[in-house]
Structure formats: C-alpha cells, structure tokens
C-alpha cells in the first residue's frame, strides 16, 4: 500500500496571527513544531490580498521547512515569480479567483490546457514538482496528463460533505480517479475538508494516495486536542 504523507496547511495559523497584527502565534515556530511532531510537509496558500499567508512568509519559511514544502495558488505572475525564486518541493496550481473565500473548484484542464502546459513547463525547468487541483471527472484527468504535470490533487469537498451525511459511496469517483491517474503516470494527492472523522476511510479506499494536505480541520481539532496530538492522530490514521 502506498505510504501517504501528511502535509499540514498552516494558513489558519497566519489568520490567527494577523487578527491581532503581531507575531502570535509565530508562524515559523509552528512550522518547526509541526515537523518536529511528525508532520511530513508544510503547505501554504498565499493569496493576492495576503489575508492569511503573506508573500514574505513564503520566503521566511524556506529555510525552516526541512520536510516537503508545498506552495499552492493561482499561477498569476506574482505567484509564479514567488515560487520560481523560492523553489519549493512542490507547487500546487489552484484556479482561485481573487474573490473566493476558499478553494471551490478544480481546473478545467481541457479549456486551460495550453496555459497549464506553459506554466508547468516553467516550473519544471526549475526542478519544482507540479500538481494540479482537480475534480474527479475522468476527461479532465486525461487532459491533465497532457499538461506535463507530475501529480494531481483531488478536490475532496464533495466526498467530505457526502460522507458526513452517511453516503460512503461518495468515495467511489475518487477511487476511480486515482486509479486512472496512476495508469496515466500521474501521482495522486488530495485535499479540502479532510478531517480526523473521514481521513482513515478515505485513505483505506483511495489507492496510490501519496499526500494529503490538511489545514482548517487539523487546526480546529488542535484547539481541543493539541496540535502535537492531532498531527500524530492523522499520521496513525494514514497508516491504514
């Protein structure tokens, strides 16, 4: 069975820090601690309005992240310049508009294929692993394989909302998408609304799952249970 890495999205730590205008909690210390507690990667998603992660944070985190460093975002010029300068382990391309509260759709890899090919080629020239945030539509996954991307990241909001209602069959399209991606030579990541409640079931049913990126739920759960405890709870559930 594929080992699935836990990458912790620390956007919400930055949101909390920014709410008071100071440096508490300290983002860099949290990143160090998360890795020390067993987290296998750090994810950030800077947005143009810098409402949580600031662009400067991305630079400041570079020498601190000794596991996998994943930077997510819409590949506008400012974002691309940032990533090409920092050279993280992975860049995850997300089609976010400036006005969205959180990521709410995957790429249309058919309509945007030429654009994605150009962007991905630029990142890969710098040795940065690429991933495309995508829905489970098989035609879109087939088109993703033509962009030159290394991986896809399955957008899991629908699975999470349906699982919460007791519909375990909602995992089936994700399983089929992961199998297809593997057949096409693509690695498989996943993220959005995954939590301690649903992560083990998801992991047990999705073959070839290499990495999950979890932020909002993990930080919220940590308020009650403690971040060290929660990071290790995820890691145990991902071993299944």
Which residues are catalytically annotated? 45, 72, 192
In 3-state terms, the chain is what percent helix, strand and coil (to 5)?
45, 15, 40
Residues sharing a CB contact under 8 Å with residue 137, sequence separation 6 or more, in sequence order: none
CA distance 191 to 194: 6
- Taking the CA atoms of residue 106, residue 59, residue 86 and residue 217 in that order, the dihedral angle to the nearest 10 degrees is -30
Structure tokens, 138: 């098989």
C-alpha 224: how far from chain center: 23
- Taking the CA atoms of residue 235, residue 236, residue 238 and residue 240 in that order, the dihedral angle to the nearest 10 degrees is 160
């Amino acid at each position: 069975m594929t080992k699935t890495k836990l990458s912790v999205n620390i956007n919400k730590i930055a949101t909390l820090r920014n709410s008071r205008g100071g440096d508490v909690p300290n983002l860099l210390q949290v990143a160090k601690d998360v890795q020390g507690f067993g987290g296998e990667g750090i994810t950030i998603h800077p947005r143009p309005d810098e409402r949580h992660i600031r662009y400067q944070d991305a630079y400041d985190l570079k020498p601190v992240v000794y596991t996998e460093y994943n930077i997510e975002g819409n590949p506008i010029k400012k974002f691309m310049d940032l990533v090409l300068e920092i050279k993280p382990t992975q860049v995850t391309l997300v089609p976010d508009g400036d006005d969205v509260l959180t990521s709410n759709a995957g790429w249309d890899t058919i309509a945007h294929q030429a654009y994605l090919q150009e962007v991905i080629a630029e990142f890969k020239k710098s040795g940065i692993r690429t991933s495309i945030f995508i829905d489970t539509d098989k035609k879109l996954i087939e088109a993703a394989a033509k962009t030159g991307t290394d991986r896809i990241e399955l957008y899991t909001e629908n699975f999470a909302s349906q699982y919460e209602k007791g519909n375990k069959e909602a995992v089936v399209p994700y399983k089929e998408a992961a199998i297809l991606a593997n057949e096409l030579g693509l690695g498989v990541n996943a993220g959005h609304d995954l939590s301690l409640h649903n992560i083990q079931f998801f992991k047990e049913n999705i073959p070839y799952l290499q990495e999950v990126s979890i932020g909002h739920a993990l930080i919220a759960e940590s308020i009650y249970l403690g971040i060290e405890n929660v990071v290790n709870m995820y890691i145990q559930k991902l071993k299944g």
